[in-house]
Amino acid sequence: MQTGRVRPGEGTVLQRPVRRTRHSRRSYSAIAVALILGGFLGGVLGELLGSVAPFLAKGQAIGLKPTLVDLAILKFPIGLELKVNVAGLVGAMAGAALIGRR
């Protein structure tokens, strides 16, 4: 009668080691953070350096115009605008490239 102990090589089942894939949830979140931070920092630098190098500040504003929501006892505007400039795009790509090196 067996007591529950199994000696190596006697009836053991080989299990594959659990490997993390390169595209795990953690890496997607790291890439998203790098893109957002890189874009933010690049956008700020583009606005600051726009007087020195005007091409860095060139960009486009994308979004929805503010709309007033009236709920009888409460009024508030809802709107969303994203300002994208050249330096922001370069910053986002640099952030993604740095994360991609890991």
Higher pLDDT, 28 or 8: 28
Summarize pLDDT for 70-100 with one digit per residue, the tens.
998 999 999 998 888 899 999 988 888 887 7
Q: Please name the residues in contact with 59: beta carbons below 8 A apart, sequence gap of 6 or more.
A: 46, 83, 84, 85, 86, 88
Summarize pLDDT for 39-63 with one digit per residue, the tens.
899 989 888 888 888 888 888 989 9
Note the pTM of the prediction, 2 decimals: 0.58
Quick one: which of 52, 55, 29, 57 has its CA closest to 42? 57
What whole-number distance in Å separates Cα of residue 7 and Cα of residue 20?
A: 29
Q: Over 90: is that where the pLDDT of 13 sits?
A: no
Q: Which residues, in sequence order, are bridge partners of residue 96? A: none
Q: Would you state the structure tokens that stand for residue 31, as one six-digit string?
A: 């890439």
- What local confidence, expressed as pLDDT, does residue 99 receive? 78
